[in-house]
Amino acid sequence: MNDNKQRMNSKRSPKENRKVFGQWLFFIAILIFGVLVIRFSYIAIGRRVNGVNLAAATKKLYTDDQTITAKRGTIYTANGDAIAEDTSTYTLYAIMAKNQKSASGKALYVKNNVQAAKVLSKYLPISYKKALATLQKGTGKFQIEFGTAGKNISLTTKKKIDAQNVSGLHFIESEARLYPNGVFASQLVGLTNSKNVSGSDQTRLNGAMGIELAYNKVLSGTDGRKTVTTSGYQGKTDTGKQVKNGNNVYTTIDTKLQTLLETKMSEVQSQVNAKSMTATLMNAKTGAILATSQRPTFNAQTKSGLSKMWRNLLVEDTYEPGSTMKVFTMAAAINSGNYNANTTVASGTYKIDGKTVPDWNTSGWGNITYAKGFALSSNVAMAHLEQTMGAKTWLHYIKKFGLRTSTNSGLQDEQTGSIQFTYPIEQADTAFGQGIQVTAMQMLRGFTAIANNGKMLQPYFVSKITNPNTHKTVYKAKTKVVGTPVTSKTASSVLDHMQDVVYKSYGTGSAFKIDGYRIAAKTGTAQVSNGGTYETGDNSYLYSVVGMAPAKNPKYILYITMKQPTLNGTSASEDMAEIFKPVMRRALDEQKASETKTTTIKMQDLTGQSTKTAEAKAKKIGVTPIVVGKGSRIVKQSVSSGTVLTSKQRVILVTNGQMYMPNLSGWSASEVADFADLTGVKLTTSGTGYVSAQSISAGNPIESKQALSVTLK
């Protein structure tokens, strides 16, 4: 009875149950709300969820992080003409997927294959039939390319294609290198190649050979970064790392001398078809290389010929120099006190340890003095001198002249050479340039001691490096003495003997006379070694000549080698003289002109001035003004204020009026390029050298974007 009563009392009414449930629901809601408050407070304060920084993630959503590619530095001649500079090329591709449209609904795919094929065949090296077939095969694909025809497209061609407004044709821009002079000290200046930047679709130019490789870090610069935060997240801001463009490298190469040397090298090579040739002109008082060339070579812009010869023969090729080595033999004998000009020896042949040293004229010239033997290029006379000096003394001088050590040029794969010097016959052979392997750069370094009063100079080819960001010179080359192998008196005596080579009736160098200048020279002939023995036959020699001028106090050294030429009724000396004489004369003439007028010219800012006043000021400071247009004032000039110029150098001044075409005859490729940049004409060039023809006659009006083609010769 009591239990039933208790059970009846324990039962709650539905109303009471709802009340209890409501209370529990309230408490649960409060608990959940509290948890949410704590969680959101944690997020608000810490700004992190599951290890993710919300602020950073949100910022990333509205932020575009861009890389600003540094511009590669320009390589210039000593005259300020660009040899290698940055440009852009483009790769063409076509989008074929018909669902590709812009945000505004514009078609991004090729809508009309026929129209696209016509445009491509007009502006690219691809036929209409092939272009159309490629487009038709691309049906169903997302995008297609057009092989080599669609690559390395110039900005000018890209603009022409863009102007046709063909839907679906798109371009990818790539860095490229422009070599406006084509064949121009190509192995020395070098090349770049394009490499993909890790983690992006961008490419980067890297030096592959020559100065481009040796100074790659200097030329490359440092990429910048730009962080753009668009509206929608704390407004719009630009921040990041500033780009630092690569430094500019100024070589010691003289534009005119180099152009002349290339021309003459090509002419002679076409006549003799030598296996290889080198020619280098050096300033005897500084060690600066003013011009250098080789054959085979290549066109740096088109890459034509690159597969035949990419090595720089100046430092990468070793060879037996032959009789030009006798310059060092004579110097060593005189300096060591083992030379008597009046001592006579029997010429023709000379036995050493049972081995025979032959003269090139094996019959000989009877008994001859050492002095006459040098002028006659007698191997026997030089072998006698080596025996008189002794092998130890001779080897000491070989080392003093740097013929066993690197020139530390900085160029890739420089060789140090070798020598066979164990047996007496080998020691004697080196006295006339056989059995010793050298590089052309080593020979040039040694020759400076004879031309420079006994002081041997470091050869160099970079005169200065400038920072385009600060406009400051960060490096300037200085003349560096790297040894004193002989005295000034010895050097002078050797120069006297070298003049005998040119001016004595029996000398071997009469072909190298230059009217108006006294020349000191030494010719050379060496059998070409094939590794263990010597080549035989008429086409088995390396010929060479070293010339110094003016003979009494040389300003220039010109060294030429010609390996295994086919001589067609001429002598090797006559062929080499076709290079030697015009190049050396041009250098000497320019030296004479500079000595008569040594005024330093600094360009002034002429923009904003009246045309008449600007032209008068330009003439007054010593430059040649080329006024383009008939406007009343100058708005542009080709040379910036403060630039150091040579006397009579052209400076282009553009006025604010109608432009008219000047006479471009004789202008360099760099000057024509400056003209195109200033006037906006669309320039195309062919050939190398200086302007010989132009498509728009002088005096005719010109407009921006007008096509101009010039022929260089």
Q: Cα angle vertex 89, ends 292, 71, to 5°? A: 70
Helix intervals (H) in 273-369: 313-316, 326-335
How far is it, in rounded angstroms, from Cα 312 to Cα 315? 6
The alpha carbon dihedral of 368, 372, 374, 376 has a sign of negative
- Do the Cβ atoms of 689 and 664 come closer than 8 Å? no
* Residue 692: its H or E element: strand 691-694
How many C-beta atoms surround the C-beta of residue 51 within 10 A?
Answer: 5
Q: Which residue has the tokens 């030009």?
A: 324
- Do the Cβ atoms of 694 and 710 come closer than 8 Å? yes
**For this structure, is 594 an active site residue?**
no
Measured in whole angstroms, how far is the alpha carbon of residue 437 from the centre of its chain? 28
Q: Which amino acid is at 540?
A: S
How far is it, in rounded angstroms, from Cα 383 to Cα 350? 8
How far is it, in rounded angstroms, from Cα 93 to Cα 96? 10
Nearest CA to 440 among 314, 570, 603? Answer: 314
With helix as H, strand as E and coil as C, how does 177-232 read? Answer: EECCCCCCCHHHHCEEEEEECCCCCCEEEEEEEHHHHHCHHHHHCECEEEEEECCC
How many C-beta atoms surround the C-beta of residue 486 within 10 A?
Answer: 26
β-strand 355-358 against 367-369: which pairing, if any? Answer: unpaired
Burial class of residue 4 (count of CB atoms within 10 Å of its CB; 0-12, 13-18, 19+): exposed
Nearest CA to 572 among 593, 544, 536, 600? Answer: 544
Burial class of residue 656 (count of CB atoms within 10 Å of its CB; 0-12, 13-18, 19+): middle
- Do the Cβ atoms of 91 and 174 come closer than 8 Å? yes
- Do the Cβ atoms of 707 and 684 come closer than 8 Å? yes
- Do the Cβ atoms of 376 and 367 come closer than 8 Å? no
- Do the Cβ atoms of 691 and 672 come closer than 8 Å? yes
Check whether the bond before 550 is cis (ω within 30° of 0).
yes
How far is it, in rounded angstroms, from Cα 236 to Cα 229? 5
- The full DSSP string for 624-669 is EEEEES--SBEEEESS-TT-EE-TT-EEEEEESS-EE----TT-BH
Helix intervals (H) in 11-154: 14-46, 54-61, 113-123, 128-137
- Do the Cβ atoms of 215 and 222 come closer than 8 Å? no
> Residue 550: CB partners within 8 Å, gap ≥ 6?
517, 518, 588
Please tell me which residue in 220, 293, 323, 670 is annotated as part of the active site. 323
The alpha carbon dihedral of 130, 131, 137, 142 has a sign of positive
Q: Which residue has the tokens 């490359």?
A: 220
> Residue 93: CB partners within 8 Å, gap ≥ 6?
143, 144, 145, 146, 150, 169, 170, 171, 172
How far is it, in rounded angstroms, from Cα 277 to Cα 560? 7
Check whether the bond before 296 is cis (ω within 30° of 0).
yes
Question: Would you please indicate which residues are annotated as catalytic (active-site) residues?
Answer: 323
